[in-house]
Amino acid sequence: MAIQHHKRLSMDLLLPTGFGLERLKSDRNARSSVETELEPFAQPRSQPRPRKGAASPDLLDAAEQQRQVLQGLRIDGQSVRLTLTATGLEWARAASSAAAAVEAVPFSEMLSAECCDEPPGLLTCLRARTHQLQVLTFRRAAGRPCEWFPRKLLIEAVDEETVQDLCAAISRGIEGASAGRPRSLLVLLNPNSGHRQGRCVWCRLAAPVFAAAGIKARVWETRRPGHACELVAGLTAQQLQGVDGIVCVGGDGVFHEALNGLMAARGAAAAAGDAELAALLGALRLAHIPAGSTDAVACTLHGTRRAFTAALHVALGDSTPLDVLRVDTPQGAKFASCIAAYGFLADVTSEAEQWRWMGPMRYDIVGAAKLAVSRAYPARIRYLEGEVARTLSKHSHTVCTSDCRIQGEFCSIMLIVMPCRSDKTRSGMARFGHLADGRLKLVLVRKCSPLQYLRFLHGMSRRGCSPGQLPYVTVLDAVAVEVTPLGSSSSGGDGGGGSTGRPVSCWNLDGELVAGPGIQAEVHPGLVRVFSRGVEQA
């Protein structure tokens, strides 16, 4: 069967008619670290002071017309010269020279601002009483700008009116920069993910961020495998009124299920001609707050597994398109956002399922056992490259045509959609992959010794997969791929047919195991949007 690639797939072709998808760690050290991380977002000791009236028009207009410099203020206990601009706040130490380093926080990176009373203390009676303003924002780790930590700017002044006018001006600036920020979210929580930390991560890390941003969250806990897919696929137009996105708290599996549920719901709405439901589903953004064993989705979207960072990307309304891989199997269509793997990775995932109580360590133990066997699987691969043809030095022909074909025995076949970063692959399995370029990386590891495959794994963990690294590894850019295993369950084909007695593996789609003699897969560019801005570089 020839592979057909459609750059713009209509929603009525996205799924067949009638298609339905089947499918803490709570020790004291973990709790202490979580509490310490969110300490700046804790509620003030006293209740916020209500505003006494509208802010001064001069101060509110200053940010729009010119830079307004305010004197006599303290930020985090230090006297500063504060400048209110059209885009945010800038300040430098009051005693410093004019060339001193200037700190700045834009309105787009602030969650909220509120006036509050100075907490009582022993020295309060010995000095003039100050009035305080709290601005909730974040700071970036030194050398790792993609890792965010909570920060609370405490602005103090003796004059109460100055503080209230500044609070009103900052609040208006935040409101002006909040286009695209969510107001209501549906949260899918998997309490059993990873070390059973899902509920703890939500309550202690994500929920306080959403509360500070004024976001309403409706939480649904998943109870069994495939439950998240069922919940999303069954959403109605009434349930989606006012909902801006779906947040998945757990491992990669809950995000994978939500994605498949969303695709099923879109297909059903298109087939039923329900324009209202189709529009609501099409406007939803997805998010992944990591609480699992690998968390490749969150790590790829944000460059870190920090749950606070992922939650803040949601609260700030970051948005970017994400490519989705549609995989057609004999059982029906499935969707993946990270990877579809056949061979070694699928074997490891399949075997590791019975050792989930071991946590992430199970992948290392099972992987070592599978590596010692180093099994290879016969298969035939056909693929379509992207719009720009490339020179293929690995094959007998020089330039790839529209019907490329490779056949042989492979230890691993991988279709990598996004970079797939994780703790084991910091640079990503596909280092030069992208979130939304409409292409995938087809990685073929031919039959090799255990030592050679270990060398491949080591290189992938350090610098990702790229062409020309190893003679027995082929890396190609493709938009559509057809894989036909030639083992015992295959029928027909150039390399053998019937029951040959040769081994066959299964498919690993973002952690979901799918059995089948073969698949056809195609990348659909930017099929969904996610709460992300990509990985920030130093």
How much is the average pLDDT of 368-394? 74
Q: Are 24 and 202 in contact (CB under 8 A)?
A: no
20-29, 154-163, 339-348: segment of lowest average pLDDT: 20-29
Which pLDDT band, with edges at 50, 70 and 90, does 37 fall under? low
pLDDT value at residue 492: 36
pLDDT value at residue 120: 57
Backbone φ and ψ of 163, nearest 5°: -65, -45
**Residue 248 CB neighbour total at 10 angstroms:** 33
Radius of gyration of the chain (CA): 27
254-263, 271-280, 372-381: segment of lowest average pLDDT: 372-381
308 and 426 share one domain: no
pLDDT at 239 over 70: yes
Query: Of 158, 176, 194, at which residue does a domain stop?
Result: 176
How much is the average pLDDT of 426-454? 92
pLDDT at 301 over 50: yes
228 and 139 share one domain: no
Which CATH number is 352's domain given? Answer: 2.60.200.40
pLDDT at 273 over 90: yes
Per-residue pLDDT tens over the stretch 110-164:
999 999 876 655 555 555 678 899 999 999 999 999 999 999 999 999 888 999 9
- Is 299 inside a domain boundary? yes
pLDDT value at residue 399: 40
Task: Give the β-pairing of 285-290 and 519-530.
Answer: parallel
233 and 249 share one domain: yes
pLDDT value at residue 56: 54
376 and 499 share one domain: yes
How much is the average pLDDT of 34-45? 52
How much is the average pLDDT of 486-499? 47
Calpha distance 509→488 (Å, rounded): 22
Domain of 371, in residue numbers: 323-528
Calpha distance 110→531 (Å, rounded): 17
Which CATH number is 130's domain given? Answer: 2.30.29.30
pLDDT at 275 over 80: yes
Query: Of 261, 295, 317, at which residue does a domain stop?
Result: 317
pLDDT value at residue 96: 64
Q: Are 507 and 331 in contact (CB under 8 A)?
A: no
- pLDDT, averaged across the chain: 82
Which pLDDT band, with edges at 50, 70 and 90, does 517 fall under? confident
CA-wise closest residue to 502 among 447, 456, 455: 447
**In the 8-state DSSP scheme, what is residue 515?**
-
Tell me which of 181 and 397 has the higher pLDDT: 181
DSSP E strands, 423-530: 440-446, 473-478, 480-485, 507-509, 512-514, 519-530
Query: Of 270, 293, 317, at which residue does a domain stop?
Result: 317
| Tally of domains within the chain | 3
